[in-house]
Amino acid sequence: MPHVIVKLYPGRSEEQKIQLTEEIVKDVVAIAKCEEKSVSVAIEEIKPEAWADDVYRPDILSNFEKLYKKPGYNPFK
C-alpha cells in the first residue's frame, strides 16, 4: 500500500519511465507518509486506438466520482 498504476501511450523511453516512477514514489512517500518499501508503481502502455475502450470507459467514465483529477477530454463526444 499504496499501489499506483500509470497508463499512457507507448513511446516513452525506459529512462523516462524510471524517472516518472522515482518521482511518483518520492511524492507518495512524502504526502501519504508511508515507507518507500510499501509503494509499488506499474506502467501500462496502451495503444492510442485502444485508449477509449481499454482505459477511458472502464477507468475514467465508470469511476468518475472517484477521480481527483478529471480529464479535459472525452473521446466519445
pLDDT in tens, 1-19: 999 999 999 999 999 999 9
Same domain, 8 and 39: yes
49-72 mean pLDDT: 97
Same domain, 39 and 68: no
Same domain, 33 and 61: no
For the stretch 12-57, pLDDT in tens is: 999 999 999 999 999 999 999 999 999 999 999 999 999 999 999 9
Q: Which domain holds residue 27?
A: 1-45
Three-state secondary structure along 22-33?
HHHHHHHHHHHC
Same domain, 3 and 24: yes
pLDDT of residue 48: 98
pLDDT of residue 47: 98
Same domain, 39 and 58: no
Active site residue 71: no
Please give the tally of structural domains in the chain.
2
**Pick from 8, 4, 3, 2: nearest CA to 54:** 8
Same domain, 52 and 36: no
Q: Which of 2, 58, 71, 75 is catalytic?
A: 2
Same domain, 41 and 52: no
Determine how many CB atoms are found less than 10 A away from the CB of residue 53.
Answer: 12
pLDDT of residue 49: 98
